[in-house]
Amino acid sequence: MTIQKNDFIEISFTGKMTNTDEIFDTNIKADAEKAGFKTEGIKPFILSVGHKMLPGGFDDDLTGKDVEKEYTLNLTPEKAFGKRNPQLIRMIPTKLFHEQKINPVKGMQLNLDGQIVKVLSSDRGRTLTDFNNPLAGKPITYIYKINKMITEQKEKIDALQDFLFRQTFEYELKDKTITFKVPKEAEQFIKMLSPKFEEILGLKINTKVTEEKKK
């Protein structure tokens, strides 16, 4: 069965540095154990092909592939996580880190507002930081297998919730409209991400504020 754009698939993969064979990402338990990663909750990934739910070059490679076959994909930096951008290396006053109770030291990696930042040096009240993706500028290799096609609507909806919302809400589906039952504090967040949800599944998104807890 050949994969086409907009198909939902379940995929298992391992990403390695092409030059060193070091694993940087995987959803295969055996490979995660080999790399020393945590294995709790690790499982195959469900995605919609052609919607950049994986790095661009990886996503592009899925179209035309067959289910239950293993593939090896070598990507240049341009097709993976991009080239390094010198403008993303910035000098920041060290006091801003201290205000967050962080003592910046060379080599430290921090998560600032969802973005990984590496400390290059810190001296005399100034800290040199690198906002480039840690994999930017590096060739990478993916070994992957498309396990199966996903056809059940519930699996598709839950997979998109996991990817976009990072959590799963109860919902009602009626007449091409999904109504998510969400707490008040999550309502604006869902509305902000609903255009992408609608683009992928072709369903209109509504929200209903409820006191029920998310799953």
Supply the pLDDT for residue 131.
Answer: 93
1-82+138-151 fold: Chitinase A; domain 3 (3.10.50)
User: Do the bridges between strand 140-149 and strand 170-174 make them parallel or antiparallel, or are there none, so unpaired?
Assistant: unpaired
Assess if CATH 3.90.380.10 describes domain 86-130. no
Query: In the chain, which residues have pLDDT < 50?
Result: none
Token pair for 29: 């338990």
pLDDT tens for residues 42-86? 999 999 999 999 999 999 999 999 999 999 999 999 999 999 999
CA distance 129 to 144: 34
Q: Whole-prediction pTM value?
A: 0.82
Dihedral pair phi/psi, residue 58, rounded to 5°: -70, -50
Dihedral pair phi/psi, residue 156, rounded to 5°: -65, -45
CA distance 95 to 126: 8
Place of tokens 């990984």: 116
Assess if CATH 2.30.110.10 describes domain 152-215. no
CA distance 94 to 84: 24
Supply the pLDDT for residue 212.
Answer: 55
